[in-house]
Structure 1
Amino acid sequence: MEQRTNIYFYYKGNDKIEKQLEPLVQRLEENLFEMVEDPDDANIVVSIGGDGEFLQAVRHTGFRQDCLYVGIARANESALYCDFHLDNYEQVVAAMNGEALEVRRFPVIDVTINGEATFQCLNEAAIRSAVIKTIVMDVHIDGKQFERFRGDGLIVSTPTGSTGYNKSTLGAVVDPKLPCFQVSELASLNNNQYRTLGSSFILDQERTLELEVIQDGNDYPIIGLDNEAYSIRNIQNVNIQLSEKRIKTVKLKDNTFWDRVQRTFL
């Protein structure tokens, strides 16, 4: 653990959380970890909260490839990304101080808007109408038109993101060991003029997805990147593919992705 001694805590600061953190910080310092104020100086970034806070920690620290992310949930919080709980801080210390540190790697997608700005997503990118009317998009796979979609929008999710917004639209839950991404529909309109597959579909890591927004008065759709929404003027196309980046997290032994899915949903 000589190379991973600096820890940055990411959370919405309040007296209650800081009080709860005191025993954990004390135990980490006793084990020669150093707490830092700047995430760029950290080798380990620790989020305090549920999955939403974990996503924010990854996004606000720039999807770093040279550090480990650790998610610590509090009581009654959703925790598919969080292996640990704040009321069991000794487990956190033991995992980070272990000789055989176990690391889990989560796929990320690259989202490029109008061929200019590129963003990363750990969960999903959602393209939705910003006005009370359907949005029309031509869906291209590897440069070839696949379908013309008309409806409320489309969700493009990573394997770990498949348990979130994607699942609520009856998309498949995908094992994060599979390097792929998934496309799911939001209330598609199917008739003689518009025809879609009508189900989610999964694309391999080598595939490129392009969503071309048809300019029919819905030129300002809302783009949701993980749990942040962006209103970008005059969106013409969105290109999505699996990133080379992988988010590395500290893993508890005997706590697989499917163990966490079972605890959360079954």
Structure 2
Amino acid sequence: MKIAIFANDERLSRSVSQKLRQKFEDTHFIFDEKSPDIVVTVGGDGTLLSAFHKYSALLDSVRFVGVHTGHLGFYTDWRDDEIDDLVISLQSDNGQSISYPLLDVRVTYADKAKPENFLALNEATLKRGSATMVADVYIGGERFERFRGDGLCVSTPSGSTAYNKSLGGAVIHPNLKVLQIAEISSINNRVFRTLSSPMIIAPNDWITLIPARESDYLLTIDQNSFHSKQVSQLRFKISKKSIHFAKYRHMQFWQRVQDAFIGSDYAN
């Protein structure tokens, strides 16, 4: 089995990464940063997001394992004091995995002939930098509304617990291959109206945003930001690709939600 370790720059993460590397060497794993079978991330959800984007071209062949060195995240199952157990689990690996759907984002620019495609694990957003954002929203090719406000967020099911939740969106189980669109501070009065509610979009539909103007936008794809892009159109749909997590003891989704937002002290 070929292994890659991807760690953040925190002191504890670097220490755990070094210990992991030594244990993998002692148990004769092969290190391959370019084409690994397993990517072990050390840090938190942000670290795993960075690793996902680094290895996004290898999603059909790579699986991820997250070791958290802070609070338990949604993508990290192992604690930093459990790396011995993790190495043993990797030694008896049988190829099982848990898969989560991804967001396919196609961006068309006013100053470029060819659109760009991105993958997001959590969400993508479009915001206006200095004034109200005005954009036409299409669902499955049909015009739905004209949005006015700070911006719009389109999330995956696993990403529904991130920025989307802070916007009042629903938490969705990753077994459901759907999209969710949530408004960011929409304007609603006697003149301008939006649905003013998050929407769950069916797997076969897609979302298209056409801004009323083509400048001064901030586009985000997970934790990556693209400033001042001349965006003329955005299209969102469920990707044909998925992210795969090695299934050694992947925590059940609703247990993960409970642990993150409610806590065991309040479960009873």
Alpha-carbon contact 1:71-1:84 (below 8 Å) kept: yes
Alignment of 1:179-218 (within 5 A): 179-215=177-213
RMSD: 1.8
Alignment of 1:105-254 (within 5 A): 105-114=99-108, 116-131=115-130, 133-215=131-213, 219-253=215-249
Counterparts of 2:137 and 2:237 in 1: how far apart (Å)?
Answer: 13
Counterparts of 2:192 and 2:161 in 1: how far apart (Å)?
Answer: 28
Q: Secondary structure at the match of 1:172?
A: coil
Partner residue of 1:82 out of 55, 76, 79: 76
Alpha-carbon contact 2:7-2:14 (below 8 Å) kept: no
Q: Secondary structure at the match of 1:167?
A: helix
Hey, what does 1:97 align to over in structure 2?
91
Q: Secondary structure at the match of 1:58?
A: helix
How much has 1:106 moved relative to structure 2? 1.0
- Bigger mean CA offset, 24-33 vs 11-20: 11-20
Q: Secondary structure at the match of 1:236?
A: strand
Which amino acid is the alignment partner of residue 184 of structure 2? L
Q: Which runs of 5+ in 1 are unaligned?
A: none
Which amino acid is the alignment partner of residue 253 of structure 1? R
TM-score after normalising by structure 2: 0.89
TM-score after normalising by structure 1: 0.90
Deviations 1:23-48, CA, capped at 9 Å, x for gaps:
32233233331223x3x231111111
Counterparts of 2:166 and 2:241 in 1: how far apart (Å)?
Answer: 26
Hey, what does 2:265 align to over in structure 1?
none
Alpha-carbon contact 1:83-1:251 (below 8 Å) kept: no
How much has 1:147 moved relative to structure 2? 0.9
**Identity between Structure 1 and Structure 2 (%):** 32
Hey, what does 1:71 align to over in structure 2?
66
Alpha-carbon contact 2:5-2:17 (below 8 Å) kept: no
Which amino acid is the alignment partner of residue 116 of structure 1? P
